[in-house]
Amino acid sequence: MGWNHRVIRHVLVDETSWLAIHEVYYDDNDKPDSCTKEPIQMVSNDLNEMEWTVDKIKEALEKPIIDYSYFEELENKGANEK
């Protein structure tokens, strides 16, 4: 699958949360295996490219939300295996 945009939930220490759009990357079994550290930004030199991004964001809103902690756990697991 490669990658797509997804909604990621970030939970703060006080357990409040916020949502952001990130690029999510998938392994060979189409399981999410990483995401961008920072949410995407809507900046473009080309209106068509921006429209494409908006369409992909709309698709992301139709998919289940992923907790950012999922990726942190994968990262910690990978670090422990080294």
pLDDT tens string for the chain (82 positions)? Answer: 699 999 999 999 999 999 999 999 999 999 999 999 999 999 999 999 999 999 999 999 999 999 999 999 998 887 777 6
Q: What pLDDT is stored for residue 44 in this prediction?
A: 92
Domain that holds residue 21: 3-81
Q: What angle do CA 27, 31, 32 make, to 5 degrees?
A: 85
Q: What pLDDT is stored for residue 82 in this prediction?
A: 60
Distance CA 3, CA 25 (A): 4
Distance CA 74, CA 24 (A): 13
Q: How many domains does the chain have?
A: 1
